Amino acid sequence: MTKTIAPFLDLSRLLAPRSVAVIGASDRAGNLGGDTVRRLVKFGFPGPVWPVNPNAQTVAGLPCHASVADLPAAPDLAIFALPAGALIEAIEACAARGTRAGVAYAGGFAESGGEGVELQRRLVEACARHGFALCGPNCVGLMNTAVPVTSTFSTVLHELDSLQSGGISFLSQSGGLATTAMSLALRAGFGFRHLVSGGNEAVVTFSDYLHALACDDGTKVIAGYLEGVTDPERLLLALEEARRRDKPVVLVKSGSTGASARAAMAHTGSLVGEDRVVDAILREMGVIRVGSVEAMVDAALMLASLGPARRPRGNAIGIVTFGGGNGVLAADQAASAGLDAPALRPEAIARIRRHLVSVATASNPMDLTPSTAFRPEGLAELPKALDALAAEDALDSVIFIVSGLASKAREITALIVDFWKRCPKPVCVSWPSPPRGVVEALAAEGIPAFEEPARGLAALGHVARRGEALSRPPREAEPRAGFDWTRFVPSPSAGLVVCEDRCHEILRAAGLATAEGRLARDEVEALRIAAEIGMPVVLKGISPAVTHRAAAGLLAVDLRDAAAVREAFARLAARAGDIGAALDGILVQRMRRGGFELLVSAFRDPLYGPMVSVGAGGGLTELLDDVQIARAPVTAEFAADMIGRLRSRPHARDEAGPLPAAPAAEFVAAFSALAAGAPWARFVFEVNPIKWSRDGVVAVDGLLIVEEA
């Protein structure tokens, strides 16, 4: 059955109202409504502002109205500076007047537990009846610097005399972090377009805001702080809209719980958790995920300054400094950020050297030395040297690092601005301990200046990796239709373990190759199967209670004759008795030599649905922790890209060279299509390992755990 996904809400009146009523406003000290009225007036909201309070004549010098019914017209937006218990009645009154959008500051709802949960449920019902788009409750509110409108009590506005607009819009599930992000941007000389603190998101969710910002022409970059997701399907649609419109998204995502792939009996359970699932989802959508608000603001500023045309094509960077130590350190920091500072070609070095003072170094990093700044001919020729460096095809971006040189700040700033404007490649500027006015002068030209080179390099690295993610092959494929799972798992229940022999039947029915083998229930049958499939063979004790057979002593390998098979069968049967494991039988399997081992698995994530993973297999699985994850099903091209990003991929080779990706990629794609159609609410289906060789791929193990039927 196809799940119905609720449409995105119309947030036009919430984000850009033409008139505002502030309900519960007064001139009493500390009244959030009165503070809101004063800020709307202070920052020049162009429409009418109507305070509403039956016990006041004026608020902030504006006439006060006794009720919403007494207003001259229905306001586009109602801001509720009311206690929790009065909110629903106020929303009903606003809806009766014709208002369909509001901001609720008050706490005391679901976040407080107890009666607050019921109160929020009733609030949601009231908003649903009237089609009322509510920001909050328990929120700091919203800001749109382009209107401008300040539907917020954010304390960051205390320190401002005017609003600075920009192309970055920020939305947050934390009011405090929203204030921090705006403060960091302002300190760098830049402003936000929208600032959204959604609070409890009882009605309007993070996904609604994200979709609205993706569709907003004035928003060039979306930044956000995200903890929990209540509507994952809508979040994916909003991210897809942002990607379609080429609106980069930078997120801090916290609050991981490790709920994905929980089965401890499978290797997948220790390799794949919620955080890695989120990483895979965001990477697929081209989202830049960072670990701090500072890194988020840095990446957003970098993206906004570059625009779509100047984003890096790759990770190779040219480094320019006024001191050798800064260059050496920056090269190390570039590597940590996933960037590379390649050596220059001899011809490029010769071209650059012609324009440098004698003590400067024409290399990468390029050390200008302070002498360049203090010699008129050095500064005069420097633009030509910079242009020669930027013209190198091997370089994708340039970082210009200045330290000290306060007496030459004006000249160097002008030089940087000119270079930044004419250079077709990204230019990152870092000026540790900048002289007064430098940051403001650069910001006025749209250039962020990073006080730490490492921060600028990290931001540039994030942007470069986003470009790499967006260039990946298409992922989406069709699930396998018409597969009869009940034939192999007729009575699923929570905790059911489907052992290897049955897993191989499933794989073979889906057209996937498995190692030859059958289940034997006595020694005579084991000898007959071994003779039929051919030596050498492997014996595996099969029991739902034992999923790691080698560790349990229920595995015997490389059995070359009947005597070895007979001895191993007896030993495994005795071992099962010793550890109290009831065996379904002993699997006799043709031993497969050679080939590179991969673990391929699939599971259903509680938020994002079927997922597929591929990683280092066999004995290296948990030792290397080398895995790639994606939503299932995937195309063979996408699977090949996943395999190509494994750290162990260079080791997948034979005497003829690197193994071709196609056999393994086709197995992963077919397996993902099979698993995507699995009917259970929660499951883990793992094949560890598959043997990948030049001739093809074969599964030599398998485990299916139904976690929730």
Is pLDDT of 262 > 60? no
Say if residue 270's pLDDT is above 80. no
CA distance linking residue 665 with residue 512, whole number of Å: 12
Indicate the fold that domain 516-590 takes in CATH: Dna Ligase; domain 1 (3.30.1490)
Q: What is the pLDDT of residues 145-166, one digit of tens each?
A: 999 999 999 888 988 999 999 9
Q: Please name every residue paired with 475 in a beta bridge, in sequence order, or none if there are none.
A: none
In this predicted structure, the answer to whether residue 623 has a pLDDT above a threshold of 80 is no
Taking CA 286 as the corner, what is the angle to CA 282 and CA 288, rounded to the nearest 5 degrees? 70
**Could you give the CA distance from residue 307 to residue 412 in angstroms, rounded to a whole number?**
24
Percent of the chain with pLDDT over 70: 96
Instruction: Tell me what pLDDT residue 276 has.
Output: 86
Q: Is the pLDDT of residue 545 over 70?
A: yes
pLDDT at 240 over 80: yes
More confident site: 241 or 228? 241
Backbone angles phi, psi at 142, to 5 degrees: -130, 160
Tens digit of each residue's pLDDT (9 = 90 or more) over 171-217: 999 888 998 999 999 999 999 999 999 999 999 999 999 999 999 99
Cβ(21)–Cβ(50) below 8 Å: yes
Query: Which residue spans within 509-590 are E strands per DSSP?
Result: 517-520, 537-542, 555-559, 585-590
Report residue 355's pLDDT band, with 50, 70 and 90 as the boundaries: very high
DSSP β-bridge partners for residue 147? none
Lowest mean pLDDT among 307-311, 436-440, 505-509: 307-311
Give the separation between CA 523 and CA 527, rounded to whole angstroms: 6
Adjacency order of strands within the sheet including 449-450: 366-367, 317-321, 397-401, 427-430, 449-450
| Residue 340: strand pairing partners | 316
Element (H, E) at 603: strand 596-605
For residue 387, give both structure tokens: 């242009």
Residue 498: alpha-carbon gap to chain centroid: 33
Q: Residue 241: how many CB atoms within 10 A of its CB? A: 17
Is pLDDT of 16 > 80? yes
Residue 442 to residue 415: CA distance in whole angstroms: 11
**Helix, strand, coil % in the chain, rounded to nearest 5:** 40, 20, 40
Burial of 344 (C-beta count, 10 Å sphere; 0-12/13-18/19+): buried
- The residues, any chain, with a CB within 8 Å of residue 30's CB and separated by 6 or more, are none
pLDDT band at 620 (very low <50, low <70, confident <90, very high): low
Judge whether 21 and 71 are in contact, CB under 8 Å: yes
CA end-to-end span of the chain: 16
pLDDT digits (tens, 9 = 90+) for 365-396: 999 999 999 999 999 999 999 999 999 999 99
pLDDT category at 324 given cuts 50, 70, 90 is confident
> Quick one: 12-140 is in which CATH superfamily?
NAD(P)-binding Rossmann-like Domain (3.40.50.720)
Angstrom distance (rounded) from CA 580 to CA 287 = 50
The per-residue pLDDT for 158 is 86
Comparison of pLDDT for 254 and 417, the residue scoring more: 417
What DSSP element (H or E) covers 527? helix 523-533
Assess contact for 274 and 232: CB atoms under 8 A: no
Under the banding of pLDDT at 50, 70 and 90, the label for residue 3 is low
Q: Which fold has domain 307-470?
A: Rossmann fold (3.40.50)
Task: Calculate the average pLDDT of the chain.
Answer: 94
| 255 has a pLDDT exceeding 80 | no
Amino acid at 313: R
CA distance linking residue 367 with residue 346, whole number of Å = 17
Q: Which of 252, 314, 250 is nearest to 288 (CA)?
A: 250
Residues facing 320 on adjacent strands:
366, 400
The yes-or-no verdict on residue 269 having pLDDT over 60 is no
Q: Alpha-carbon distance 54 to 74, whole Å?
A: 18
CA angle 323, 325, 327 (to 5 degrees): 75
State the pLDDT at residue 266. 60
Q: How far is CA 412 from the centre of its chain?
A: 37
Same fold, 12-140 and 307-470: yes
Strands 133-135 and 101-104: parallel
Band of residue 271 on the pLDDT scale cut at 50, 70, 90: low
Position 560 scores a pLDDT of 96
DSSP letters, 308-342, are: GGGS-SSSBEEEEESSHHHHHHHHHHHHHTT-B-P
The domain covering 596-708 belongs, at the CATH homologous superfamily level, to ATP-grasp fold, B domain (3.30.470.20)
Q: Torsion-angle region of residue 599: left (phi > 0), alpha (psi -120 to 50) or beta? A: beta
Tens-place pLDDT, residues 40-79: 999 999 999 999 999 999 999 999 999 999 999 999 999 9
Q: What percent of the chain has pLDDT over 90?
A: 89
pLDDT score of 1: 43
Task: Write the DSSP string, 476-513.
Answer: B-PPPPS--GGGT-SS--TTEEE-HHHHHHHHHHTT--
- Asked if residue 391 lies in contact with residue 401, where contact means CB atoms within 8 angstroms, the answer is no
Alpha helices in 222-292 (DSSP H): 232-244, 267-271, 274-284
User: Is 440 in a helix, a strand, or coil?
Assistant: helix
3-state secondary structure 551-562: HHCCEEEEECCH
**Six token digits for residue 59:** 């608020």
Q: Rounded to an integer, what distance in angstroms lies between the CA atom of residue 312 and that of residue 308? A: 10
What's the rounded Cα separation, in Å, for the pair 403 and 412? 11
Per-residue pLDDT tens for 560-574? Answer: 999 999 999 999 999
**Amino acid at the residue 662:** A
In the chain, what are the domain boundaries?
A: 12-140, 307-470, 516-590, 596-708
CA distances from 532 to 248, 516, 526 (A): 59, 10, 10
